[in-house]
Structure 1
Amino acid sequence: MTADFTPVRRSAEHGFTLVELMISLLIFGMLAAAGVGLLAFSVRAQEATQERLDEVASIRRVGAIMTSDLAQASQRMVRDTSGVRMVAFTGEGGAPGGVALGFVRRGWSNGGSAARASLQRVEYRLVEDRLERQTWPMLDGAEPVRPAIVMRGITAMTVRYRRKGEWRDRWDPERPDAMPDAVEVVLDVERLGSIRQLFVAGTGNGP
């Protein structure tokens, strides 16, 4: 004795079953989570890349400013606010708070035709984690203006001064108007490590 068996077919009009719906939602959730994770990773990578590019740009800015200043270094001696005459070039090795570089540069532009010389007194110092550039409105007897921050994120700074083929850790001139031939600046920068740069200290400054 046999009986006819007719399989039950689910019509498309009946839609998804609960199990199928749950599986679909699970798959969609996994794909969405993966997409969010990938997007978050891309954003973090972009931020890290931008930070690194900003740091590299800061290093290049330091190089450009120091190159411009040191290439125009002059043997001009100045007097402080007490009238005491100072040597033409000062260099204390880059220790925090000390004068890493101090000199007078030529070629200070005067677009406003102010009553001043084309020479400018300049100093570089490491203050906390900042490399600061100090300037004076006048060469002799004037108070300095507010220093400009050239770069942040510096953990240490080392400066050496070359004269007659020898490197010195501190600039102790034989004559008050003596100038180094070249300057080496090493900056220890967060996340970048040690950055070494060399600069020529003016031309035609005598033997």
Structure 2
Amino acid sequence: MNREAERGFTLVEMMLAIVIFSLLSLTAMMIFKGVLRNSEITQRKSTQMVQLQRVLTLIERDFTHALTRTPAGLAGQPGIPEFMARGAEEGDGGYRVTMIRNYWHNPGARLPRSTLERVEYRFQKGRLDRLSSPALNSPPSAARSVALLSDVLRFQLRFYYQGEWLAAWHASTWLPQAVEITVETGSFGVVRRIVPLSPEEKS
């Protein structure tokens, strides 16, 4: 009888097999975690991109429906322009644009309000908010604020009128011909859109 043929695994061989199996399992686990992490990053980026596109579409729709109105003052005082944008150099380090827009959805006219909406976009400290007033004559404290984006490095608007791009807009009786929207985020860098407006539309 061949005793060498009947010899089983030695302790060293078994330990070596266990070590190799453990290394293979660890490698497989690391690969799985890497794939899972990449999938989560991709999903998060996709969600952020969808949110950014929604915000840009919302801003574009508001500008497209913007109106010019003659500001009504009180006691002989001039009114506040209904379409106005100012940058950091004019205020508190942020950026604000205010407008009156038409076609505020009111299904069946069931809500006790008009289809005109006062909207303000406010960018400050890396966050972009949209404020909406329940009525045109509501005080600023009544405006409802919704946070749109929180990873914003820069939010900037430029206004095209008669061959020039302007950094601010204060005209109350006419609209610019187009608005350039620039949003810079840490995730996607700089994104720009140009929105044509209808300067002749008035309320």
TM category, shorter? 0.7 to 0.9
Equivalent positions of 1:24-43 (< 5 A) are 24-43=17-36
User: Structure 1 residue 180 and structure 2 residue 176: aligned?
Assistant: yes
User: Structure 1 residue 86 and structure 2 residue 83: aligned?
Assistant: no
The normalised TM-score by structure 1 is 0.84
CA contact (8 A) 1:161 1:180 kept: yes
Q: How many residues align?
A: 196
Q: Structure 1 residues 200 and 91 mapped into 2: Cα distance closer, same or farther (>3 Å)?
A: same
Distance 1:81 1:129 in 2: 36
Please give the secondary structure, in 1, of the residue aligned with 2:43: helix
User: Structure 1 residue 150 and structure 2 residue 148: aligned?
Assistant: yes
Q: Structure 1 residues 7 and 32 mapped into 2: Cα distance closer, same or farther (>3 Å)?
A: same
User: Structure 1 residue 205 and structure 2 residue 201: aligned?
Assistant: yes
Gaps of 5+ in 1: 1-5
Q: 2:186 aligns with which of 186, 190, 193?
A: 190
Q: 2:167 aligns with which of 166, 169, 180?
A: 169
Q: Structure 1 residues 88 and 25 mapped into 2: Cα distance closer, same or farther (>3 Å)?
A: same
CA contact (8 A) 2:101 2:116 kept: yes
In the TM superposition, structure 1's runs of 4+ consecutive aligned residues that sit over 6 Å from their partners are 80-83
Distance 2:64 2:182 in 1: 18
Q: Structure 1 residues 39 and 24 mapped into 2: Cα distance closer, same or farther (>3 Å)?
A: same
The alignment-based identity, stated in percent, is 25
Larger radius of gyration: 1
Please give the per-residue CA displacement for 1:49-107, whole angstroms capped at 9, x wherever unaligned.
122112211220112101211111111345699986211310114774331x2110000
Please give the secondary structure, in 2, of the residue aligned with 1:9: helix
CA contact (8 A) 2:179 2:197 kept: yes
Please give the per-residue CA displacement for 1:107-150, whole angstroms capped at 9, x wherever unaligned.
01113612211100001010222111011111124333231111
Residue 123 of structure 1 corresponds to 120
Of Structure 1 and Structure 2, the greater helix share is in 2
Note the aligned Cα RMSD (angstroms). 2.5
